[in-house]
Amino acid sequence: MVSNIDDSFNSIKNFEFDECRPATEDETANWLLDDGPMLKTTWMVYDRQFPDGQREICATRSVRIKQVGSLPLQNRSRRGESEKREQNDDDSAKRAKQAVRLRCKSIAADRMLTLTYRENMRDMDRLKKHWDLFRRRMSRHKQFHYVATIETQQRGAYHIHVAVRGRQVYQLIRSIWQKIVGLTDDGKQAGQINVRDPHKFGFGKHGAHKLAGYISKYISKDQDTHDLNKKRYWSSRGIVVPEKNYYQLPYGADAFEAFSHVMQLGADHNSEGMTFFSNQALGVCWVATAPCIH
């Protein structure tokens, strides 16, 4: 098992010196045959650490192909007309979920605000206008770091979930939102703000990473079905997502060794509140740890 990153990089250099390169998904599927190019399976480990001590560690299976040149590619369809459109939408949603999760962790978000409407509000343009006014007015009063996503309720109504850091002046937030939304026809407040208790569902001191996963679940590929350029989430400027370090486990490591390596790293870092996902068929093991305990 790899003991340090330097050994891992040496492993990568030795492997690539053997004139192997990463195989594409299509090549992996098309060339898993006895008469195809020689394939090698390796395990890559990605490690990302956040300022407050949260950490994400992931092992993924990688297939490399012993062929220097590229294989012939099929003609690509025009954007939006591909036969893989559904897969593209799904991949786009996954990337957006990851972006939301990483941004939440980068600002150490530990509270969630929900901006709601009394009516069954289904006007996306109106929602975007109200959100833009809200975040502008919030920025006048304080440095407002946020990550926001849209949830569509079963009845079709929209509301906005906003991940933030630290205690908020809820009276101010509620006042700003209600002034933007206005009153209903019968004179009642048309908007409201709900605040999620930071300790509920483990969103407190040792569970901020769970909030990041919770808010990212509202990203779905359906949000982008009819508009390729539609924004799936909003986040404030200036959020810096830490780079991930990566290294390769020695050639010959199997799934059990790769998964054990990731789980041990996570447990050694902070096992309290640790979450994980693994799937041998997909060749992935992912671990997220809570902030460091001091």
Tokens of 106: 């980068």
Tokens of 213: 């996963």
39-75, pLDDT tens digit by residue?
678 899 999 999 988 999 999 998 776 665 555 554 5
Position 288 in a domain: no
Position 153 in a domain: yes
- Model confidence at 29, pLDDT cuts 50, 70, 90, reads low
Chain centre distance of CA 82: 25
65-74, pLDDT tens digit by residue?
666 555 555 4
* pLDDT of amino acid 269: 86
Instruction: Name residue 114's beta-bridge partners.
Output: 161, 194
* pLDDT of amino acid 187: 84
Position 78 in a domain: no
**Are both 102 and 205 inside the same structural domain?**
yes
- Model confidence at 258, pLDDT cuts 50, 70, 90, reads very high
Tally the C-alpha atoms within 13 A of residue 239's C-alpha that lie toward its C-beta: 24
**Are both 147 and 118 inside the same structural domain?**
yes
For 46, the domain range is 5-57+64-72+246-275
Residues shown for the chain: 294
**Are both 92 and 229 inside the same structural domain?**
yes
Tokens of 74: 């099929």
| Residue closest to 153 by CA, chosen among 221, 228, 218 | 218
Residue found under tokens 């906003």: 162
**Are both 226 and 92 inside the same structural domain?**
yes
Residue 93 has φ and ψ, to the nearest 5°, of -65, -40
* pLDDT of amino acid 228: 43
**Are both 137 and 221 inside the same structural domain?**
yes
> 137 or 80: which carries more pLDDT confidence?
137
- Model confidence at 19, pLDDT cuts 50, 70, 90, reads low
CATH assignment at residue 114: 3.30.70.1910
* pLDDT of amino acid 12: 38
Residue 55 has φ and ψ, to the nearest 5°, of -150, 140
**Are both 176 and 99 inside the same structural domain?**
yes
Residue 175 has pLDDT above 90, yes or no: yes
**Are both 103 and 227 inside the same structural domain?**
yes
Position 112 in a domain: yes
Residue 179 has pLDDT above 70, yes or no: yes
| pTM for this prediction | 0.77
Residue 238 has φ and ψ, to the nearest 5°, of 90, 5
**Are both 155 and 181 inside the same structural domain?**
yes
Residue 270 has pLDDT above 60, yes or no: yes
Position 24 in a domain: yes
DSSP code of residue 190: S
- Model confidence at 225, pLDDT cuts 50, 70, 90, reads very low
Residue 204 has pLDDT above 60, yes or no: no
* pLDDT of amino acid 81: 55
Say how far apart CA 53 and CA 61 lie, in whole Å: 26
Say how far apart CA 42 and CA 240 lie, in whole Å: 30
Say how far apart CA 113 and CA 90 lie, in whole Å: 27
Structurally, the chain folds into a number of domains equal to 2
* Paired sense of beta strands 111-117 and 275-279, if any: unpaired
Residues 135, 136, 141, 145: is their CA dihedral positive or negative?
positive
143-155, pLDDT tens digit by residue?
889 999 998 888 8
Average pLDDT over residues 230-242: 88
* pLDDT of amino acid 232: 78
**Are both 184 and 271 inside the same structural domain?**
no
* pLDDT of amino acid 66: 62
Task: Determine the residue type at 11.
Answer: S
**Are both 147 and 110 inside the same structural domain?**
yes
